[in-house]
């Protein structure tokens, strides 16, 4: 079948477009990648026309995803155009046997190439694939405004940042009992940012990039999107509360979080 008839490709485009509608993808901000299943590769195999091998860059090496195929957004592409011209805004790549090179197999029309954050995506996929026994398939990076705003006022430390989010909305402890990781500002698109994220995402599923955005992983498009959405919703609540007055009259307490952890088997240790 045509790539854009395949359910994984349709879900990819739908999720990217939903992110645009949420306001998380100004200009060409954000990027998305999906690791294909073997049956999905078979569905679109006749449309794949591999090009030249190219370096992932700057010594990036992800042997844990060697030989895998990914659908990824194109560098410089606007999520707002994803539904209209998916073959220009995204493409499919194959990673070589060493995990240091890739080749473009479909899409990236009009001379495009994969996202500038490709090192982050491949390193994060490698990390999550190993940590989840292969169930994790989606890596999503976006620029949600409230979360970014919080990185200017909260400590850039995972435990403290997580606790603020957990205390804002009950749903947070349920959706991300493993908390979020937090990185100080790092150069966008760099392998260092990719490596540091991959280290934290192994345990957290979501890593905050200070003054930049967030990177999330999930087994499904819904899981990755929902995680980012929940974190951004809690961030919005915190921004509103902190804008109204400097202190909170009440909030979700450590005991409340322990109660939820016990009731839902979340395994949270405070």
Site residues (vs ligand 2HA, CB under 6 A) = 28-31, 116-117, 141, 188-189
Sign of CA dihedral 104, 105, 106, 109: positive
265 three-class SS: coil
Binding to Zn ion by CB under 5 A, coded x per residue (else -) over 203-242, reads ----------x-----------------------------
What is the pairing mode between strands 181-183 and 206-209?
A: parallel
Q: What is the DSSP string of 188-200?
A: TT-HHHHHHHHHH
Cα(101)–Cα(1) distance, rounded to whole angstroms?
27
Are residues 19 and 79 in contact, defined by beta-carbon separation less than 8 angstroms?
yes
Tell me the closest approach of the beta carbon of residue 73 to ligand 2HA, in angstroms.
8
* Phi-psi group of 83: left, alpha or beta (phi > 0 → left; psi -120 to 50 → alpha; rest → beta): alpha
Choose among ligand 2HA, Zn ion, none what residue 158 binds, the Cβ cut-off being 5 to 8 Å by kind.
none
Tell me the closest approach of the beta carbon of residue 20 to ligand 2HA, in angstroms.
13
Residue (28 or 162) nearer to Zn ion, CB? 28
Tell me the closest approach of the beta carbon of residue 107 to Zn ion, in angstroms.
20
Residue (6 or 72) nearer to ligand 2HA, CB? 72
Residue 142 pairs with which residues in a beta bridge?
214
**Catalytic residue (choose from 117, 126, 164, 232):** 117
Residue (23 or 63) nearer to ligand 2HA, CB? 23
Residue (117 or 232) nearer to ligand 2HA, CB? 117
Asked if 58 is an active-site residue, the reply is no
Are residues 117 and 141 in contact, defined by beta-carbon separation less than 8 angstroms?
yes
Choose among Zn ion, ligand 2HA, none what residue 31 binds, the Cβ cut-off being 5 to 8 Å by kind.
ligand 2HA
198 phi, psi to nearest 5 deg: -60, -35
Tell me the closest approach of the beta carbon of residue 142 to ligand 2HA, in angstroms.
8
Catalytic site residues?
117
What are the residues binding Zn ion (CB under 5 A)? 213
């Amino acid at each position: 079948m045509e790539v854009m008839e395949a359910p994984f490709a349709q879900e990819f485009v739908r999720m990217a477009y939903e992110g645009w509608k949420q306001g998380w993808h100004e200009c060409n901000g954000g990027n998305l990648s999906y690791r294909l299943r073997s049956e999905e590769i078979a569905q679109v195999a006749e449309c794949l026309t591999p090009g030249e091998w190219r370096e992932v860059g700057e010594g990036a090496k992800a042997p844990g995803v060697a030989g895998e195929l990914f659908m990824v957004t194109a560098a410089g592409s606007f999520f707002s155009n994803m539904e209209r011209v998916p073959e220009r805004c995204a493409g499919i790549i194959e990673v070589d046997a060493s995990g240091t090179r890739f080749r473009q197999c479909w899409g990236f029309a009009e001379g495009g190439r994969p996202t500038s954050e490709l090192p982050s995506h491949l390193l994060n996929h490698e990390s999550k694939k190993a940590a989840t026994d292969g169930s994790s398939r989606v890596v999503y990076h976006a620029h949600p405004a409230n979360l970014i705003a919080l990185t200017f006022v909260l400590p850039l430390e995972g435990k403290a940042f997580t606790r603020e989010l957990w205390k804002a909305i009950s749903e947070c402890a349920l959706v991300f009992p493993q908390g979020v990781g937090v990185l100080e500002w790092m150069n966008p698109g760099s392998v260092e940012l990719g490596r540091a994220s991959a280290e934290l995402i192994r345990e957290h599923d979501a890593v905050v990039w200070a003054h930049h955005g967030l990177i999330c992983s999930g087994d499904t498009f819904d899981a990755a999107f929902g995680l980012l959405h929940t974190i951004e919703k809690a961030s919005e609540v915190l921004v509103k509360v902190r804008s109204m007055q400097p202190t909170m009259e009440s909030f979700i307490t450590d005991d409340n979080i322990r109660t939820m952890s016990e009731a839902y088997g979340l395994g949270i240790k405070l």
